[in-house]
Amino acid sequence: MTRTSPFHDIRACVFDAYGTLLDVNAAAARCRDALGDKAGPLAELWRAKQLQYTWLSSLMGRHRDFYEITAMALDFAMDTLDLHARDLRDKLMALYEILDAYPEVPGMLDTLNRAGMKTAILSNGSPKMLATAVQAAGLENSLNEVISIEDAGIYKPSPSVYQLAVDQLGVAREHICFVSSNGWDATGAAAFGFQVAWVNRSGQKPETLGFPPKAEIKDLTGLAGLVLPTP
């Protein structure tokens, strides 16, 4: 873990969902028997195109919800990899709605909750997708709010999306720790004014656009130690 500066007076922790709390590679991994050596490339291309489509949708002013974008991204990835089985496509989409939580997530949320910290998801996911995913991962009783960008009608990193967390939690931006595994999301949240922890699960290089996170962590195990007051 690399600390860049200390966190101050954190009153809420707000989490990105996909890739931060939920393993976006889990759907392809569960279909490895059918995908073979294409499982890894499919998961990577599917995720990359999914994110690209959110940004394009926002910039074009042609909003589509995250389920539609996820399906279109999967179609692109499967076509690129010459995978044309409709039943496999349907299975992958169904599995994406019930992704596994990373193993340290339940314990981390429990620690924050027992300390009285507000916790929430702020995600590109549509409300229905998030409700299904949170329940499947067993996290429905561990979060104060599950917030979808659909209330803003535009995707992250639009400032109007990050403002949703401020409004719904009733906590000023400077007192919110935003947590994401996506470097671009961490940058956007820091630019907005959140105190940011970047969960660099895959060992990526940091973004160079400015607005760095306060902390870089390998997983969520040590988050509580960063944001909770020292006894």
Q: Comparing C-alpha atoms, which of 99, 55, 48 is closest to residue 74? A: 48
Q: Residue 6: its pLDDT value, please?
A: 83
- Across 3-28, average pLDDT: 92
**Considering the entire predicted model, what is its pTM?**
0.94
Q: Rounded to an integer, what distance in angstroms lies between the CA atom of residue 144 and that of residue 217? A: 23
Considering the domain architecture, whether residues 140 and 38 belong to the same structural domain is answered as no
Q: Is the pLDDT of residue 4 over 80?
A: no
Q: Could you tell me if 107 and 210 lie in one domain?
A: yes
Judgement on whether residues 218 and 116 belong to the same structural domain of the protein = yes
User: What digits encode the pLDDT tens for the residues 162-187?
Assistant: 999 999 999 999 999 999 999 999 99
- Three-state DSSP at 71 gives helix
Show which of 96, 112, 140 is a domain's final residue.
96
| Predicted confidence (pLDDT) at residue 1 exceeds the cutoff of 50 | no
Task: Collapse the DSSP code of 220 into the 3-class scheme (helix H, G, I; strand E, B; otherwise coil) and give the result.
Answer: coil
Among 75, 96, 117, where does a domain finish?
Answer: 96
State the CB neighbour count (10 A cutoff) for residue 171: 17
Does residue 92 sit in the same domain as residue 105? no
What is the per-residue pLDDT across 137-158, written as a single tens digit (0 to 9) for each? 999 999 999 999 999 999 999 9
Give the SS3 label for residue 148.
strand
Q: What's 67's domain CATH number? A: 1.10.150.240
Residues 159 and 63 in one domain: no
Position 229 scores a pLDDT of 86
Cα–Cα distance for residue pair 110/10, rounded to 1 Å: 17
Catalytic residues, which ones? 16
Residue 116 to residue 216: CA distance in whole angstroms: 24
**What are the pLDDT digits (tens) for 102-120?**
999 999 999 999 999 999 9
**Mean pLDDT of the 197-211 span:** 94
Q: What is the pLDDT of residues 11-20, one digit of tens each?
A: 999 999 999 9
